[in-house]
């Protein structure tokens, strides 16, 4: 028997619900989704930096070289050399990952693949594109920092429950580099500037920001320069958290410095992205 049309239950229109779900998703999350999808296809290439490098560094330098250091000096800043080295390498790795993800991927998305322009052809804006990319870098740094901390624990270099906070400290260290470097990358017409940034920026910081030895071993003026760098603050914060040598004043100062640099880098990146992407 056919039910009269007047008595049929109304079928809900899925359109408004679907629209509400779309509106609930932040626009920048759609840009983030692109980078997640891309990484899903290329994640195997990051196994070396995420897993192998931490093991090799801690084995060769922390255990191998550290045995010589411990034999002659017994301790470095009151701890075994591998305990001193491991959190420094964690922060330095975050710097390298943050810098790498903000250099060629940004230039590629502007000049070669033109991914940003494809995103801007949708309802996304320049700020959405920027936040989505920086959010991806933050997720990448979270994964790398967590893996590094787990490997540190296997080497017995974690001595405090506060070490879990070294993960956000590592993320913050990487973002303090990623945001300003993204601003710089958006202004470049070719990749020549990246070589100079590596040669005169990231590599010297890796060597002279307290990763391998205390900055107090440097000459007076070099010590002042080292303490002004973001990697020094990231190294000091990660080291304090993993060793349990916490001091509220200096640790808050380290975190504040990294947050301020990230915010400044974001402001600069927003301006350079607008100038490059909006014609």
- Domain ranges (residues) in the chain: 28-277
Read out DSSP for 108-143? IIIIIS-HHHHHHTTT--HHHHHHHHHHHHHHHHHH
pLDDT score recorded for residue 19: 45
pLDDT score recorded for residue 11: 47
In whole angstroms, what is the distance from residue 241 CA to residue 246 CA?
7
pLDDT score recorded for residue 141: 95
Q: Is 232 left (phi over 0), alpha (psi -120 to 50) or beta?
A: alpha
pLDDT score recorded for residue 213: 87
Residue 34's nearest CA partner among 108, 141, 144, 143 is 108
Check residue 229 and report its DSSP letter.
S
Predicted model pTM: 0.87
Helices 248-277 and 126-154 cross at an angle (nearest 10°) of 140
CA distance readout (Å), 93 to 1, 77, 140, 267? 72, 22, 12, 24
pLDDT score recorded for residue 71: 58
Q: Per-residue pLDDT for the chain (279 aa), expressed as one digit of tens each?
A: 454 544 554 545 555 555 455 557 899 999 999 999 988 887 777 777 667 777 887 888 877 777 777 656 667 878 888 899 999 999 999 999 999 999 999 999 999 999 999 999 999 999 999 999 999 999 999 999 999 999 999 988 999 999 999 999 999 999 999 999 999 999 999 888 999 999 999 999 999 999 998 888 888 888 999 999 999 999 999 999 999 888 889 999 999 999 999 999 999 999 999 999 986
pLDDT score recorded for residue 51: 72
pLDDT score recorded for residue 170: 96
């Amino acid at each position: 028997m056919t039910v009269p049309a007047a008595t049929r239950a109304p079928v809900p229109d899925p359109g408004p619900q679907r629209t509400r779900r779309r509106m609930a998703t932040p626009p920048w999350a759609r840009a983030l989704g692109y980078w997640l999808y891309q990484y899903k296809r290329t994640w195997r290439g990051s196994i070396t930096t995420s897993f192998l490098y931490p093991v090799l560094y801690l084995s060769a330098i922390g255990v191998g070289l550290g045995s010589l250091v411990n034999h002659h000096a017994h301790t470095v800043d009151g701890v075994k050399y591998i305990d001193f080295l491991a959190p420094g390498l964690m922060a330095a790795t975050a710097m390298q990952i943050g810098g790498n993800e903000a250099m060629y991927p940004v230039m590629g998305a502007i000049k070669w693949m033109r991914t940003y322009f494809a995103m801007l052809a949708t309802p996304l804006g320049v700020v959405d594109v920027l936040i989505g990319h920086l959010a991806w870098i933050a997720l990448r740094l979270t994964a790398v920092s967590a893996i590094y901390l787990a490997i540190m624990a296997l080497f017995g270099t974690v001595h405090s429950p506060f070490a879990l906070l070294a993960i956000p400290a590592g993320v913050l260290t990487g973002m303090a580099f990623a945001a300003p470097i993204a601003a710089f990358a958006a202004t470049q017409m070719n990749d020549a500037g990246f070589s100079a940034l590596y040669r005169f920026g990231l590599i010297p910081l890796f060597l002279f920001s307290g990763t391998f030895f205390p900055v107090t071993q440097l000459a007076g003026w070099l010590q002042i320069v080292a303490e002004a760098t973001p990697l020094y603050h990231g190294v000091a914060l990660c080291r304090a958290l993993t060793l349990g040598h916490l001091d509220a004043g200096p640790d808050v100062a380290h975190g504040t410095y990294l947050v301020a640099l990230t915010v400044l880098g974001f402001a600069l990146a927003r301006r350079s992205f607008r100038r490059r992407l909006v014609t």
